[in-house]
Chain A
């Protein structure tokens, strides 16, 4: 999430797409309701199914699975057509005004392709996906999309001066004046995504009612483009699990930029992540393409450290600090060895083969081919949760050994006796390690809003169960001993690995030492000791060095370890004397520095407040130094000071709660928060303001979050001006702005609609059926098309579109809930949800046992006939046809207290995992599998 959970209360309109928070993130819903009660917020849900979130929404529309790009592009077209645009934001904070390379061509000109497509390689050459630049500075050329002050001195610069339309929106300069810009090209690109009438794209591709589309667009776009309103996208796997999932999110992010909806309270692009610490596990890079904190993994063309740094370090944006982050990571991992010679330590890090895909799908494809011999699984259950689960289970058959760590027996660790296989034939050695649950160990987890919170060990784990940290520590120690004793390939990588954590009486590594290493410290002189390391923690990542003298395991988490000054300040407030206890900032709850949480909680629950007087259009904010209140009047654009806010002023709490937990980076709760203000430093939304600059643009008078920007430059280069470079992570020279045009995407700078790999219809927007940059056929499907392949377009054998989802009683691959009687009894069996119309066509009643079949597998479930699904009328080859949607939950399997079938407590003879149906094909950028739209047939069993 760019924002965080509590911040949902600041939204004016919610767009819930491909997510179902009322069902899957139930506690979040109280913040949506709060926004509704306090701000009159509107909730929109767009989904293939009338979900529980839809039931609580103000507006709902059905949509055919996999057509969200067409929907989002139509919303962008609507915003442009109606001039519902936050022009001040777009002109200053996005790349819309930049001039594009005239060689760049898009799908309008190239029938579904962008310029540079190589059909043989199935990839784009991106050399035309560029801006026109000033040859002297390398900075992109820009024009004015709206009349704007050209005064080089603040406050004249960046301020719109042009006329407004009847809605109060600035009128853009005429088309000929802005030709060639990103904005002009975007306008041309979305012109095909029509929304009016029965023949519109919205009707024919998405299967939406155009009248409903208009209502949704008028609510979302019509309200939230206003400078003091924010719209909030809440999404989950219903948007991402597609061969073009990343472009879907991009399409909506672009809409958010046009409306001025990111970087401010109540707005943003908010991924509702599914697991308690999937944000943390992503930050720590348990992924093949990155190393901790989103640094690109070294590949075999990065022959030495300098070559690597040259590739991964951009010339602009905050990532210019990459050498400091990387050097500190190498020191955290190879200790003294890295302190002595960073270049040598770099060579101990594995280098991937450039261009090879090691992601989940690629991993299981290679396992299926026998390349991978052994696997360690920490709590993951791919035989239920993986795509094309039968293929992934068959891949496990090829392993020599599997180590599976979990709280429960899972389908994955029992793959050798899954329904339909003979255990004797499977030669894999399997070790199952019993793990401690979340109340049986201490540690921090990072929620979807990037807030890390500490949880404390309450009880010992049962029996021989151990924490995962214990297992990693003990196994690594044993492997190190083997290499020391016997030698072996790449010996130094292991023997030199810095792994000096001290153990407690159970053999658990000291997690405070691990956390200090994550946070960062100056590597001590002489022989290493943790005592010395604890004496020299860095303040945060701004103090990391590029020469190997500092260790830091994850620069984004550098700052989580409270500084002595912070602890002393808090101790003073709480009235504690003595030596401050060493504790992470995420760890206040329970007790803090010897103070029971009860006594300290008032401190940790503090959140900044200010006052907003609606009638007088004036902000009031306390000046702690003088005890007086500063004021800023929107009506007169003047600053002042009073001793007390008037009674008509309302106290505002934006809900950042800076002392509760700790958010990366540096406890910033809303990222890119420069965009919460206009160019001159006044909050766009005075009733949910984060910051206010003084009249000179030099100092912040009000500060309700950690700023990611400095002063507004009075004179000087735009590049160092916070108002001109609010998107600080953008790597492009002279353009630290939001990107409506991006050269970083595999399939093109603008999102274009393609059909899912398995689709009932041909693509109506171009002759390009599927994402041309995605791998559409992996070796499994190529070599055994009848087993793992795909249905044809409009395949009569698989006439229905299937989608999968979750239910509130269960969680992910099920092991955490299907072994739980309270939850299992509430939702004991797998079901197949179909519309009344399809039920009538097939003679199926609720309660019948049905079987769903795809090209790759079959799964049974109880039919649930509902009005939550309905057939959609869509265009097909110039005429119109009906498409039925089938839905089923994906939590079930074949082992556990509840398997999804009628059997209880043990192994089932059938497998109820919906992922047996899904294809092994993934997104062009991330390879996330396409699990939310595929073709099936359906029949009644009895």
Chain B
């Protein structure tokens, strides 16, 4: 029997449990379940796993704006449909009630979070950055008896980035160096 990708997906698709079966080979029960699969009406796109650095590709099935299934992409020459335990659980990253959905604020000395809006957060963060930058910025310093332009902000650090996309990493380094930051570090160092 020649399987089209579409029918392959029908057979292998509903969530992790059935996907795991599909990796072991097609079974009669998987065939029987084919018509009932919840990704039947789903729109597919591809993604790359957010965990380790192999770069396994996966198919994300979306229905009514919700991720309804994630499984390994058979077409990727790197992982050839395989996903590890973490890769198979990307579904729970997308669908998880523990995800942060609001901006949170903790006032100095406070014991709890308060919910805030982006309209409150962005101007306040910009203000914190500007005030700290102005207070700790070194425009020139003496080197070998001469005043040298150094344009360096010593009071702000930026940490992180190994989970960001390349385009975001680029914006992050441009953002930081543009502000004059010198304490710029991330997970590659630890």
The residue that B153 contacts in the complex, of A275, A282, A490, with Cβ under 8 A, is A490
Enumerate chain B residues within 8 angstroms of A440, measured Cβ to Cβ.
Answer: 94
Q: A128–B15 Cα gap in the complex (Å)?
A: 63
- Please tell me if the beta carbons of A475 and B126 are within 8 angstroms of each other in the complex: yes
Q: A115–B124 Cα gap in the complex (Å)?
A: 55
Which of A94-102, A186-194, A427-435, A831-839 interfaces with chain B? A427-435
Q: A447–B84 Cα gap in the complex (Å)?
A: 16
Residue B108 interfacial (CB < 8 Å):
yes
- Please tell me if the beta carbons of B53 and A275 are within 8 angstroms of each other in the complex: yes
- Please tell me if the beta carbons of A350 and B85 are within 8 angstroms of each other in the complex: no
Which of A164-172, A381-389, A757-765, A787-795 interfaces with chain B? A381-389
Q: A928–B185 Cα gap in the complex (Å)?
A: 11
- Please tell me if the beta carbons of A434 and B103 are within 8 angstroms of each other in the complex: yes
Enumerate chain A residues within 8 angstroms of B175, measured Cβ to Cβ.
Answer: 472, 475-476
Look across to chain A and name the residue whose beta carbon is closest to the beta carbon of B186. Answer: A286
Residue of B52, B137, B179 with most chain A CB atoms under a 10 A cut-off: B52
Residue A371 interfacial (CB < 8 Å):
yes
Q: Which 4 A-B pairs have the closest CB atoms?
A: A463-B101, A443-B165, A447-B55, A380-B160
Residue A36 interfacial (CB < 8 Å):
no
Report A586-601 CB contacts with B as 1/0, cut-off 8 Å: 0001100000011001
The residue that B159 contacts in the complex, of A6, A376, A463, A469, with Cβ under 8 A, is A376
Q: A475–B174 Cα gap in the complex (Å)?
A: 13
- Please tell me if the beta carbons of B103 and A286 are within 8 angstroms of each other in the complex: no
Residue A273 interfacial (CB < 8 Å):
yes
Residue B13 interfacial (CB < 8 Å):
no
Look across to chain B and name the residue whose beta carbon is closest to the beta carbon of A560. Answer: B166
In angstroms, how far is the closest chain A Cβ from the Cβ of B96?
Answer: 6
Residue A314 interfacial (CB < 8 Å):
no
- Please tell me if the beta carbons of A285 and B52 are within 8 angstroms of each other in the complex: no
Given contacts A432-B100, A434-B101, contact A27 B166 (CB under 8 A): no
Q: A416–B105 Cα gap in the complex (Å)?
A: 12
- Please tell me if the beta carbons of B77 and A277 are within 8 angstroms of each other in the complex: no
Enumerate chain B residues within 8 angstroms of A429, measured Cβ to Cβ.
Answer: 105-108, 128
Q: Give B residues with C-beta under 8 Å from A.
A: 5, 16, 45-57, 60, 62, 65-67, 70, 73, 75-80, 82-90, 92-94, 96, 98-111, 113, 116-118, 121-130, 132-137, 139, 141, 143-144, 146, 148-190
Report A453-472 CB contacts with B as 1/0, cut-off 8 Å: 11111111011111111001
- Please tell me if the beta carbons of A423 and B109 are within 8 angstroms of each other in the complex: yes
- 27 A-B contacts (beta carbon < 8 Å): A30-B80, A278-B187, A286-B158, A286-B160, A286-B162, A287-B188, A303-B148, A371-B155, A375-B157, A434-B99, A437-B50, A441-B165, A442-B165, A445-B55, A447-B78, A462-B99, A472-B175, A486-B130, A489-B134, A493-B178, A518-B170, A553-B174, A557-B166, A816-B93, A819-B96, A823-B89, A926-B189
Enumerate chain B residues within 8 angstroms of A460, measured Cβ to Cβ.
Answer: 65
Given contacts A26-B85, A350-B177, A429-B108, contact A407 B168 (CB under 8 A): no
- Please tell me if the beta carbons of A350 and B133 are within 8 angstroms of each other in the complex: no
Look across to chain A and name the residue whose beta carbon is closest to the beta carbon of B156. Answer: A374
Enumerate chain A residues within 8 angstroms of B135, measured Cβ to Cβ.
Answer: 373
10 additional A-B pairs beyond A358-B185, A363-B157, A483-B130, beta carbons within 8 Å, are A303-B146, A352-B152, A380-B161, A426-B108, A429-B108, A431-B105, A432-B104, A488-B130, A489-B139, A490-B139
Q: A303–B163 Cα gap in the complex (Å)?
A: 35
In angstroms, how far is the closest chain A Cβ from the Cβ of B188?
Answer: 5
In angstroms, how far is the closest chain B Cβ from the Cβ of A279?
Answer: 6
Q: A589–B161 Cα gap in the complex (Å)?
A: 24
Enumerate chain B residues within 8 angstroms of A451, measured Cβ to Cβ.
Answer: 55, 78
- Please tell me if the beta carbons of B55 and A453 are within 8 angstroms of each other in the complex: yes
Residue A10 interfacial (CB < 8 Å):
no
Chain A, 628-672, CB within 8 A of any chain B CB:
655, 657, 660-661
Look across to chain A and name the residue whose beta carbon is closest to the beta carbon of B105. Answer: A431
Q: A235–B56 Cα gap in the complex (Å)?
A: 19
Which of A140-148, A508-516, A709-717, A778-786 interfaces with chain B? A508-516
- Please tell me if the beta carbons of A276 and B55 are within 8 angstroms of each other in the complex: yes
The residue that B98 contacts in the complex, of A353, A408, A509, A511, with Cβ under 8 A, is A408
Q: A557–B173 Cα gap in the complex (Å)?
A: 15
Enumerate chain B residues within 8 angstroms of A449, measured Cβ to Cβ.
Answer: 55
- Please tell me if the beta carbons of B155 and A378 are within 8 angstroms of each other in the complex: no
Q: A460–B163 Cα gap in the complex (Å)?
A: 18
Residue of A288, A358, A435, A483 with most chain B CB atoms under a 10 A cut-off: A288
Look across to chain B and name the residue whose beta carbon is closest to the beta carbon of A476. Answer: B175
- Please tell me if the beta carbons of A407 and B46 are within 8 angstroms of each other in the complex: no
Enumerate chain B residues within 8 angstroms of A438, measured Cβ to Cβ.
Answer: 47-50, 90, 93, 163
Q: A275–B171 Cα gap in the complex (Å)?
A: 19
Look across to chain A and name the residue whose beta carbon is closest to the beta carbon of B48. Answer: A455
Given contacts A438-B90, A475-B129, A557-B166, contact A281 B137 (CB under 8 A): no
Residue A372 interfacial (CB < 8 Å):
yes
- Please tell me if the beta carbons of A287 and B189 are within 8 angstroms of each other in the complex: yes
- Please tell me if the beta carbons of B173 and A5 are within 8 angstroms of each other in the complex: no
- Please tell me if the beta carbons of B159 and A382 are within 8 angstroms of each other in the complex: yes
- Please tell me if the beta carbons of B118 and A466 are within 8 angstroms of each other in the complex: yes
- Please tell me if the beta carbons of B157 and A660 are within 8 angstroms of each other in the complex: no
Enumerate chain B residues within 8 angstroms of A373, measured Cβ to Cβ.
Answer: 132, 135-136, 155-156
Enumerate chain A residues within 8 angstroms of B189, measured Cβ to Cβ.
Answer: 287, 359-360, 926-928
Which of A213-221, A520-528, A806-814 interfaces with chain B? A806-814
State how many residues of chain A have any CB contact under 8 Å with chain B.
173
Which of A204-212, A398-406, A854-862 interfaces with chain B? A398-406
Look across to chain A and name the residue whose beta carbon is closest to the beta carbon of B79. Answer: A27
Enumerate chain A residues within 8 angstroms of B134, measured Cβ to Cβ.
Answer: 488-489
Q: A433–B103 Cα gap in the complex (Å)?
A: 5
- Please tell me if the beta carbons of A589 and B155 are within 8 angstroms of each other in the complex: no
Q: A407–B129 Cα gap in the complex (Å)?
A: 23
In angstroms, how far is the closest chain A Cβ from the Cβ of B6?
Answer: 8
Enumerate chain A residues within 8 angstroms of B121, measured Cβ to Cβ.
Answer: 431, 433
Enumerate chain B residues within 8 angstroms of A281, measured Cβ to Cβ.
Answer: 161-162, 164, 169, 186-188
Q: A380–B80 Cα gap in the complex (Å)?
A: 30
In angstroms, how far is the closest chain B Cβ from the Cβ of A473?
Answer: 7
Enumerate chain B residues within 8 angstroms of A465, measured Cβ to Cβ.
Answer: 99-101
Enumerate chain A residues within 8 angstroms of B101, measured Cβ to Cβ.
Answer: 434, 462-465
In angstroms, how far is the closest chain A Cβ from the Cβ of B18?
Answer: 14
Q: A610–B2 Cα gap in the complex (Å)?
A: 28
- Please tell me if the beta carbons of A360 and B185 are within 8 angstroms of each other in the complex: yes
In angstroms, how far is the closest chain A Cβ from the Cβ of B74?
Answer: 10
- Please tell me if the beta carbons of B83 and A431 are within 8 angstroms of each other in the complex: no
In angstroms, how far is the closest chain A Cβ from the Cβ of B132?
Answer: 5
Enumerate chain B residues within 8 angstroms of A820, measured Cβ to Cβ.
Answer: 89, 92-93, 96
Chain A, 524-566, CB within 8 A of any chain B CB:
553-554, 557
In angstroms, how far is the closest chain A Cβ from the Cβ of B156?
Answer: 5
In angstroms, how far is the closest chain A Cβ from the Cβ of B50?
Answer: 4
Look across to chain B and name the residue whose beta carbon is closest to the beta carbon of A362. Answer: B183
Given contacts A401-B128, A432-B105, A589-B46, contact A282 B188 (CB under 8 A): yes
Q: A24–B179 Cα gap in the complex (Å)?
A: 37
Given contacts A407-B99, A432-B113, contact A660 B76 (CB under 8 A): yes
Look across to chain B and name the residue whose beta carbon is closest to the beta carbon of A432. Answer: B104
Residue A340 interfacial (CB < 8 Å):
no
Residue A821 interfacial (CB < 8 Å):
yes
Enumerate chain A residues within 8 angstroms of B111, measured Cβ to Cβ.
Answer: 417, 423-424
Enumerate chain B residues within 8 angstroms of A478, measured Cβ to Cβ.
Answer: 122-123, 125-126
Q: A387–B5 Cα gap in the complex (Å)?
A: 47
Residue A132 interfacial (CB < 8 Å):
no
The residue that B109 contacts in the complex, of A25, A424, A463, A661, with Cβ under 8 A, is A424
- Please tell me if the beta carbons of B152 and A406 are within 8 angstroms of each other in the complex: no
Residue A607 interfacial (CB < 8 Å):
yes
Q: A367–B159 Cα gap in the complex (Å)?
A: 13
Look across to chain B and name the residue whose beta carbon is closest to the beta carbon of A354. Answer: B143
Residue A570 interfacial (CB < 8 Å):
no
Look across to chain B and name the residue whose beta carbon is closest to the beta carbon of A276. Answer: B50
Q: A53–B75 Cα gap in the complex (Å)?
A: 27
The residue that A349 contacts in the complex, of B98, B118, B177, B186, with Cβ under 8 A, is B177
Given contacts A284-B166, A379-B161, contact A276 B52 (CB under 8 A): yes
